Amino acid sequence: MNDVIVDLKEISKIYQMGPVEIRAVDNIGLQIKKGSFCSIAGASGAGKSTLLHLIGCLDSPTSGEVKINGHNLGEMKDADLTKFRKENVGFVFQFFNLIPTLTAMENVLVPAMFDKDQKVKRAEELLEKVGMGHRMEHHPNELSGGERQRVAIARALINDPPIILADEPTGNLDSETGSEIIELFKALNTQGKTIILVTHEKDIANFANRVIIIKDGRLQDG
Amino acid sequence: MPADSKLILRIPLADVAGSHITITLYKWAYPVIMSKARKFGALSYVGRNIRRRNLRSAITIVGISVVIAFFILFASISQGLKDDIMEEIARQEEALAEQRAGFFTLMTMDPFAMDFFNSTELEAMDDYVSDYCIEHDTVGEVYPLAINFLAPADPESDDMFILFGVDPEKGIKYDFITFNADTIDVQGEFLSSDEESQIILGNGVLEANYPGTQLGDKIDLETMSFMSGGNVTIENVTVTGIMEPNIIYDNFAAVPIEFLLEETGMYDAVSDEYYYFFISIWVEDASLIDFSEMRAEIKDITGISDNDISDNENYIKRTIIAHETEIESQGEMRRTIDGWLMAVILLLSIITIVGISNTMLMSVTERRREIGTLKAVGIPKGRIYQIVLGEAMLLVIISLALGGTVGIMLAEIFNYQYQAEVGGIFFAPTSLTPFVMGYVVGISIGVAFLASLYPAWQAARLEPTEALRYE
């Protein structure tokens, strides 16, 4: 069991919309091994992103238990969760979520901006690694979609987390650029990072070693 | 370090001639500062956020700067007015302290009756007045005074020179006259107790009766004493002091009282009693004493009649009331100014709160996704508070620099117009004390802090998922 990095036990996330109860995640049990490359696939509204947010401690389940890297998130306070997230999870978003006023370099440094150790050297190395060494001082509006996503990946890696969560990372990119980004994830996976990727595109999902299909908040396969 | 490795700027200070502020810029510091500047921290992020919405930030900064400029102007005017009022109150209180002094004067109106006050009565009165005043938390003194006349050297002259006999140690206090070593400017020395045969001369007496006389010279005094019933010449009196020209004391001269009484036959060697014609009793704060009580006791001690004793009780009552009314009305004016200032501070604070709150709320609402991202990548709630509060602080600090400069200039212009008595509508006394500047800065920062608390709370409570969903 030591090689399980994500351990979900009977988790549900229920939203109350007036009189209607929406089960975004419905009684899911799931284990993901350390160093694996998983994709969570499903149609729009299937509950993929909600599941990803629960794994990434951005949200808490209505019921059930979430264990990440051996830690039970339900027992943690808000401040501890934030710290845990910073140290254990790197996020990559569909819309890149870069800060427009900051350069690529500064965007990578954002998670560490309150740290005593500035990590400038590590940020440079990461940008080199994702192929953005030549555009460190450029602002997001001067970068293409693929370049922005590369910067976002470098940002996710700045604190060297064991898990990378990517929510539709290719959803805003053309297929060629999308493939490049997936290659980047694969490279990170071979270096030991656990990659969990949410997508509604079958082609993209199939790049992963394990494909988890979700439908109406329930696991279908994987 | 070589001298050319630094640049020195000197900014002269207008208020203090010859003074300046020195700013030294070290050239070697530039690369050090720039390498620090290359690093990215929360402060640079906050600064970029201000610059990102540069038009809105500029409008907010201009708005707050105007408010701060007016705040400084109003605060300095109110301080200036209050300073003037405080000066007036101090003047009134000083005057009041003088006016509070009470006097009893005892004067035998019929010298031919030879019913003078003797040394025993004087001593008894001294003890009584001193004890009574101590009991009433004030100070009282008894001053005997002998009054003779000096004959003018020119018999045709109309000049009247008065020769006082005073206690060399205490001098005399009587009504507005305070004649002693502390208050009279003399060349040489005031009277001393060491020597009996000595005199200090007023300038007029010196010029008319003893021209060319210098300190240390001995002179003869031709006195006309109505108390002893005739003229007496006192010989070989040493001039120990010459009074500086003075409109009141030019025609006066003074000798030790016991010396004058002895020379003019007002001393009885057998009984060792001196006889006094005039006694003044001075009380520092007459509002603390009972005039009728003191009057009765003095009459008991001396047997003096009502006609021969007078006091200034009614005068004191009138003047104290007048001064107290004036002080009260000045105090009222001061409180009114404080009230106006409070109203202005409140109004300006509301404007600032609305301005900053609005700007920060818009900024937070527009950046929901960005704030959500910050939370998702591990920036804790407290830091989100710091970011929003930091942006508001930065806005107010820039505004303080701009508005402060304009406000100080306005205050100086108003004060210049006021001091120069140019008139017009732009004039008022202003006072830019460190206290005024301190509370302008303090209130501005405090108000900005308050104004940004709600937007900061809004930002900090954003759930990252909610923020990430926001499109």
The per-residue pLDDT for range B102-143, each reduced to its tens digit, is: 888 888 766 566 678 899 999 999 999 999 999 999 999 999
CB contact under 8 A, B377 and A109: no
User: What tens digit of pLDDT does each residue of A140-168 get?
Assistant: 999 999 999 999 999 999 999 999 999 98
pLDDT(B161) > 70: yes
DSSP run (H or E) holding B95: helix B54-99
Given a contact cutoff of 8 angstroms between Cβ atoms, the answer to whether A104 and A135 are in contact is: yes
- The β-bridge partners of B148 are B163
pLDDT of amino acid A1: 47
For chain B, say whether A106 makes contact (Cβ under 8 Å): yes
3-class DSSP string for chain A = CCCEEEEEEEEEEEEEECCEEEEEEEEEEEEEECCCEEEEECCCCCCHHHHHHHHCCCCCCCEEEEEECCEEHHHCCHHHHHHHHHHHEEEECCCCCCCCCCCHHHHHHHHHCCCCCCCHHHHHHHHHHCCCHHHCCCCHHHCCHHHHHHHHHHHHHCCCCCEEEEECCCCCCCHHHHHHHHHHHHHHHHCCCEEEEEECCHHHHCCCCEEEEEECCEEEEC
pLDDT of amino acid B38: 52
pLDDT (mean) for B412-437:
82
CB contact under 8 A, A102 and B45: yes
User: What tens digit of pLDDT does each residue of A119-148 get?
Assistant: 888 999 999 989 999 999 999 999 999 999
pLDDT of amino acid A187: 92
Confidence of residue B356 (pLDDT cuts 50, 70, 90): confident
pLDDT of amino acid B428: 82
CB contact under 8 A, A82 and B376: no
pLDDT (mean) for B65-87:
89
Q: Which of A86, A100, A120 sits opposite B378 (nearest CB)?
A: A86
Interface test with A, best of B51, B377, B394 (most A CBs within 10 A): B377
CB contact under 8 A, A159 and B378: yes
Q: Which of A56, A102, A159 sits opposite B48 (nearest CB)?
A: A102
Which residues on B lie below 8 Å from A83 (Cβ)? Answer: 378, 380
Cβ contacts below 8 Å, chain A against chain B, sum to 82
Between A16-25, B33-42, B81-90, B162-171, the lowest mean confidence (pLDDT) is in B33-42
User: What tens digit of pLDDT does each residue of B233-247 get?
Assistant: 899 999 999 999 888
CB contact under 8 A, B40 and A78: no
Q: Model pTM?
A: 0.64
pLDDT (mean) for B456-466:
86
Show the CA angle centred on residue A8, arms to residues A5 and A14, nearest 5°.
140
Between A1-5, B62-66, B99-103, the lowest mean confidence (pLDDT) is in A1-5
| Distance from the Cα of residue A219 to its chain's centroid | 19
Q: Which residue of A has its CA nearest to B376?
A: A58
3-state secondary structure of B337: helix
Given a contact cutoff of 8 angstroms between Cβ atoms, the answer to whether A92 and A156 are in contact is: yes
- The β-bridge partners of A30 are A8
pLDDT of amino acid B424: 67
pLDDT(B270) > 60: yes
| Distance from the Cα of residue B275 to its chain's centroid | 45
- The β-bridge partners of A89 are A163
How far apart CA B394 and CA A29 sit, in angstroms, is: 49
pLDDT (mean) for B264-271:
89
Between B44-48, B303-307, B397-401, the lowest mean confidence (pLDDT) is in B44-48
Distance from the A91 Cα atom to the nearest Cα atom in chain B, whole angstroms: 7
Instruction: Name the percent of chain B lying above pLDDT 90.
Output: 29
How far apart CA A136 and CA A123 sit, in angstroms, is: 9
pLDDT(B471) > 50: no
Q: Which of A87, A100, A120 sits opposite B39 (nearest CB)?
A: A120
pLDDT(B80) > 70: yes
pLDDT(B36) > 80: no
CB contact under 8 A, B44 and A120: no
pLDDT(B3) > 60: no
How far apart CA A7 and CA B458 sit, in angstroms, is: 33
For chain B, say whether A93 makes contact (Cβ under 8 Å): yes
Distance from the B81 Cα atom to the nearest Cα atom in chain A, whole angstroms: 48
For residue B36 the two structure tokens come to: 């620090």
pLDDT of amino acid B166: 93
Q: Which of A58, A87, A97 sits opposite B369 (nearest CB)?
A: A97
Of the two residues A65 and B11, the one the predictor is more confident about is: A65
Instruction: Name the percent of chain A lying above pLDDT 70.
Output: 98
Instruction: Name the percent of chain B lying above pLDDT 70.
Output: 87
CA distances from B79 to A103, B91, B424, B429 (A): 49, 18, 21, 8
pLDDT of amino acid B178: 85
CB contact under 8 A, B40 and A120: yes
Q: Which of A79, A95, A156 sits opposite B380 (nearest CB)?
A: A79
pLDDT (mean) for B1-6:
57
Which residues on A lie below 8 Å from B375 (Cβ)? Answer: 58, 82
- The dihedrals phi and psi of B53, each to the nearest 5 degrees, come to -100, 65
Mean pLDDT of chain B, nearest integer: 84
User: What tens digit of pLDDT does each residue of A14-64 get?
Assistant: 988 888 888 889 999 999 999 999 999 988 888 888 999 999 988 889 999
Q: Which of B40, B374, B463 sits opposite A109 (nearest CB)?
A: B40
- End-to-end Cα spacing for chain B: 57
Which residues on B lie below 8 Å from A101 (Cβ)? Answer: 48-49, 51-52
Show the CA angle centred on residue B354, arms to residues B351 and B357, nearest 5°.
140
CB contact under 8 A, B464 and A58: yes
- The β-bridge partners of A213 are A41, A221
What residues contact B144, with CB distance under 8 A and at least 6 apart? B117, B122, B167, B257, B276, B278, B279
Between B17-26, B132-141, B170-179, B368-377, the lowest mean confidence (pLDDT) is in B17-26
pLDDT (mean) for B3-23:
61
The 8-class DSSP code of residue B112 comes to G
The 8-class DSSP code of residue B36 comes to H
Handedness of CA B50, B55, B58, B59 (dihedral sign): negative
How far apart CA A29 and CA A47 sit, in angstroms, is: 14
CA distances from B173 to A101, B105, B284 (A): 82, 11, 11
Which residues on B lie below 8 Å from A114 (Cβ)? Answer: 41-42, 379, 383
* Block residue for tokens 């396969």: A221
pLDDT (mean) for B259-268:
89
pLDDT (mean) for B257-283:
90
Q: Which residue of A has its CA nearest to B380?
A: A82
For residue B301 the two structure tokens come to: 């001690």
For residue B79 the two structure tokens come to: 């301080």
CB contact under 8 A, A101 and B376: no
Which residues on A lie below 8 Å from B42 (Cβ)? Answer: 113-114
User: What tens digit of pLDDT does each residue of A168-208 get?
Assistant: 888 888 888 888 899 999 999 999 999 999 988 888 888 88
Distance from the A24 Cα atom to the nearest Cα atom in chain B, whole angstroms: 13
For chain B, say whether A159 makes contact (Cβ under 8 Å): yes
CB contact under 8 A, B378 and A59: no
Q: Which of A101, A109, A113 sits opposite B49 (nearest CB)?
A: A101
Confidence of residue A221 (pLDDT cuts 50, 70, 90): low
pLDDT of amino acid B237: 93
How far apart CA B345 and CA A116 sit, in angstroms, is: 40
Bridge-based pairing state of the strands A63-68 and A163-167: unpaired
CB contact under 8 A, B376 and A105: no
Given a contact cutoff of 8 angstroms between Cβ atoms, the answer to whether A140 and A112 are in contact is: no
For chain B, say whether A83 makes contact (Cβ under 8 Å): yes
Q: Which residue of A has its CA nearest to B379?
A: A111
How far apart CA A199 and CA A181 sit, in angstroms, is: 13
CB contact under 8 A, B380 and A155: no
Give the CATH fold of the A36-61+78-221 domain: Rossmann fold (3.40.50)
CB contact under 8 A, A93 and B381: no
Q: Which residue of B has its CA nearest to A54?
A: B465
pLDDT(B226) > 80: no
Task: Say what the ipTM of the complex is.
Answer: 0.91
pLDDT(B232) > 90: no
For residue A65 the two structure tokens come to: 């238990």
- DSSP states of B272-292 as a string? TEEEESEEEEEES-GGGS-HH
Which residues on B lie below 8 Å from A156 (Cβ)? Answer: 377
